[in-house]
């Protein structure tokens, strides 16, 4: 730097200052980008976790519906057999149908009361 003229020294100093300013700005922007990437990664992991929970819930519902379907199919078969068995069972059949209808309305009333 001893052989440089005053203009060359000022130019070198201003060039170094510009580089330093650009370097600081670059580091600031890199830190900002890193924080955004971290937030996006966290969000993606939360979405993955939520998706897995919902899939487990839906799998549980599927098995519940399968068991209910089997139960209802068996009940309908027994009910059909009893209906075809003759006139003697018609009173019993009507009584049982009435009990089921009343039970359905009572359960629906109780469920609507618990939700409110």
CA distance 29 to 21: 12
Q: What six digits make up the tokens of 90?
A: 């018609």
Q: Are 19 and 27 in contact (CB under 8 A)?
A: no
Residue among 96, 69, 67, 68 at smallest CA distance from 81: 96
Q: Does the pLDDT value for residue 8 go beyond 50?
A: yes
For 5, 61, 100, 104, 111, the CA distances from 107, given in Å and listed in that order, are 98, 21, 10, 5, 6
Torsion angle of the four alpha carbons 23, 29, 31, 35, in this order, in degrees rounded to the nearest 10: -170
What confidence tens digit (pLDDT) does each residue in 23-55 have?
A: 889 999 999 999 999 999 999 999 999 999 999
pLDDT > 70: percent of the chain: 82
> Which tokens is 63 given?
């098995």
What per-residue confidence (pLDDT) applies to 114?
Answer: 82
Average pLDDT, the chain: 83
Please report which confidence band the pLDDT of residue 70 belongs to, taking 50, 70 and 90 as the band edges: confident
Q: Model confidence over 82-97: pLDDT tens digits?
A: 777 766 677 777 888 8
């Amino acid at each position: 730097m001893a052989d440089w003229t005053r203009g060359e020294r000022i130019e070198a100093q201003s060039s170094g200052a510009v580089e330093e300013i650009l370097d600081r700005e670059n580091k600031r922007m890199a830190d900002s980008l890193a924080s955004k990437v971290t937030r996006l990664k966290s969000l993606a992991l939360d979405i993955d976790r939520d998706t897995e929970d919902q899939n487990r819930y839906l799998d549980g519902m599927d098995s519940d519906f399968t068991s209910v379907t089997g139960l209802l199919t068996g009940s309908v078969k027994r009910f059909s057999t009893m209906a075809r068995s003759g006139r003697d069972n018609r009173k019993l059949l009507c009584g049982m149908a009435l009990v089921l209808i009343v039970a359905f309305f009572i359960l629906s009333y109780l469920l609507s009361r618990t939700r409110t």
